[in-house]
Amino acid sequence: MTFKPNKLTFAEGLKRIENAFAKEKMKYPTSIITSRDANLAKVCNALKVDNVPLGFKKWQLPVHLEMASQFFISVGVADTAVPLHSHDEGDGFRLIMSGTIIYNGIELTEGDWMFIPKGKSYDFKVGEKGVTLFYCYSCCCA
Q: Each residue of 35-56: pLDDT tens digit?
A: 999 889 999 999 998 888 778 8
pLDDT of amino acid 89: 87
pLDDT of amino acid 140: 62
Confidence class for position 20, pLDDT limits 50, 70, 90 = very high
User: At residue 142, does pLDDT exceed 60?
Assistant: no
83-101 in b/e burial notation, b at 16+ Cβ within 10 A?
A: eeeebeebbbbbbbeebbb
- Residues 9 and 118: their CA atoms lie apart, in Å, by 24
Q: Which long-range contacts (CB under 8 A, 24 or more apart) does 23-31 make?
A: 29/62, 29/63, 29/115, 29/117, 30/117, 31/117, 31/120
Range from 68-77, 95-104, 131-140 carrying the lowest mean pLDDT? 131-140
- Residues 122 and 66: their CA atoms lie apart, in Å, by 20
Confidence class for position 115, pLDDT limits 50, 70, 90 = very high
Confidence class for position 2, pLDDT limits 50, 70, 90 = low
| CATH class name, domain 70-137 | mainly beta
Range from 68-72, 117-121, 131-135 carrying the lowest mean pLDDT? 68-72
- Residues 87 and 117: their CA atoms lie apart, in Å, by 8
Mean pLDDT of 68-90: 92
Mean pLDDT of 132-138: 90
Q: Do residues 99 and 129 touch, judged by C-beta distance below 8 A? A: yes
Q: What stretch(es) of the chain map to CATH 2.60.120.10?
A: 70-137
Q: What is the pTM of this model?
A: 0.85
Q: Do residues 123 and 65 touch, judged by C-beta distance below 8 A? A: no
